Amino acid sequence: MDMEREQDTKPQYSIGEVAAKTGVSRRTVRYYVQRTLIDPPVGRGRGSGYTEQHVEQILCVLRLQREGLGLEAIQQLPQQALTSAHSAAVQHPPTVVFRVPLIPGVRLELDAGLRPPGPAVVDALAEACAKILESHKEAG
Partner 1 sequence: MNKPEAGGLFAKGQRIPLRGVRIEVHAAGIAARVTVAQRYQNNEKAPVEAVYSFPLEESSAVCGFEAEIGGKKITGRIEEREAAFERYDRAMAEGQGAFLLDQDRPNIFTASVGNLLPGQEAVIRISYVTELQQSGDAIRLLIPTTISPRYVPPEQLKKMDPAELDHIAPPTVLGGVPYGLELAVDLEAPADVREVSCPSHPARVAISGRKVKVSLMGQDIQLDQDFVLNVALARPHEALAVVARDGSAGRAVMINLFPDLSGFQRGPGEFLFIIDRSGSMGGPSIQQARAALLLALRSLEEGDRFNIVGFGSTFEPMFKEGVPYTQQSLEEAARKVEGMEADLGGTELLQPLKFATEAPHAAELPRQVVLLTDGQVGNEEQCIELVSAHARHCRIFTFGVGHGVSEHLLRSLARATGGQAEFIHPNERIEPIVMRQFRRMASANLRNVRLDWGGLKTDLLAPSELPPLFDGDRLTLYARVPGGATTEVAVLADSPKGALRFPVTVDCEHPVDDAAIPVLMARKAIQELEEGRGMVRGSAQQNRKEKAVRARILELALRYQLMSSATSFVAIEERPAGAQAQPAELRRIPIALTKGWGGVPAEGLAAGLTGSAMGGPQVAKMMVCASPAMPAPAVRGRRRREAADEFMMEAAFTPPPASAAPAEGTTWPRRILNSILGGGKGAVPAGEDLHESLFPGNALLELTSLQRADGSFELTEALAKAAKRKLADLEQAAKALGMDNTLARNVLATLLALEVLEKEFSGRRDEWQMIADKAKRWLAKQKVVVPAGAKDLHEWARRTLA
Residues in the site for partner 1, rule: CB under 8 A?
14-16, 24-28, 30-32, 34-35, 40-41, 44-46, 48, 65-66, 70-71
The one-letter amino acid code at 102 reads: L
Q: How far apart are the first and last CA of the chain?
A: 70
- Residue nearer to partner 1 on the CB measure, 41 or 85: 41
Q: Least CB distance from residue 26 to partner 1, whole Å?
A: 5
Distance CA 17, CA 69 (A): 26
Q: Using an 8 Å Cβ cutoff, are 64 and 79 in contact?
A: no
- Residue nearer to partner 1 on the CB measure, 24 or 102: 24
Q: Least CB distance from residue 71 to partner 1, whole Å?
A: 7
- Residue nearer to partner 1 on the CB measure, 48 or 84: 48
- Residue nearer to partner 1 on the CB measure, 5 or 44: 44
Q: Least CB distance from residue 31 to partner 1, whole Å?
A: 4
Q: Using an 8 Å Cβ cutoff, are 11 and 47 in contact?
A: yes
The one-letter amino acid code at 55 reads: V
As beta bridge partners, residue 106 has: 103
